[in-house]
Amino acid sequence: MWFGYNAWPKLLVTVLIVFFPILVNVLQSMRVADRDLVNLARAYSMSRAQVFWKVLFPSSMPALMAGLRIGATLAVIGITVGEVVGSQIGLGYLIVFGQGSANTAMVFNAIILLTIIGIAMYWAVAAIETRVLHYIPRAVTA
């Protein structure tokens, strides 16, 4: 209600829900990065920024992509919560409206659409991940 009834509150809720899982994944991956590579970079007189961009950032890319996969599905939840709380359009509003008018079909259709959107976003992030992390070998399934 503080930010009005436009797109900003929905965006803010979505960003807050998505931000922390991604942040935790990336920080943990940087914490467990190969210290030998960091020490080697320092031995070559790299600055802190160079160590970050040349060693830590590339080593944290798999964790970033894992966080983005989690965030893609959480974004659907975040936007739906934002629409449920204060909106007059969107699938979250349709769920609340359908529930209030005892229209079960509307509620289930909105939930099915949200599920399809979540799966599509997950697949999109997975496709981006295979494109970005092409240098990491994949496990071969028999």
CATH classification at residue 86: 1.10.3720.10
Other residues' Cβ atoms within 10 Å of the Cβ of residue 75: 20
- Whole-number Å distance between alpha carbons of 118 and 38: 37
Asked if pLDDT for residue 89 goes beyond 90, the answer is no
Residue 124 lies inside a defined structural domain of this protein? yes
Residue 97 lies inside a defined structural domain of this protein? yes
* Tens of pLDDT, residues 38-88: 999 999 999 999 999 999 998 899 899 999 999 999 999 888 888 887 777
Q: Which of 30, 129, 33, 15 is nearest to 77 (CA)?
A: 15
Widest Cα–Cα separation across the chain: 68
Write the DSSP symbol of residue 74.
H
Q: Dihedrals φ, ψ of 120, to 5°? A: -65, -40
Prediction pTM value: 0.77
3-class secondary structure, 97: helix
Write the DSSP symbol of residue 6.
S
Asked if pLDDT for residue 138 goes beyond 70, the answer is yes
pLDDT given at position 2: 65
Number of domains in the chain: 1
- Domain housing 105: 7-132
Residue 111 lies inside a defined structural domain of this protein? yes
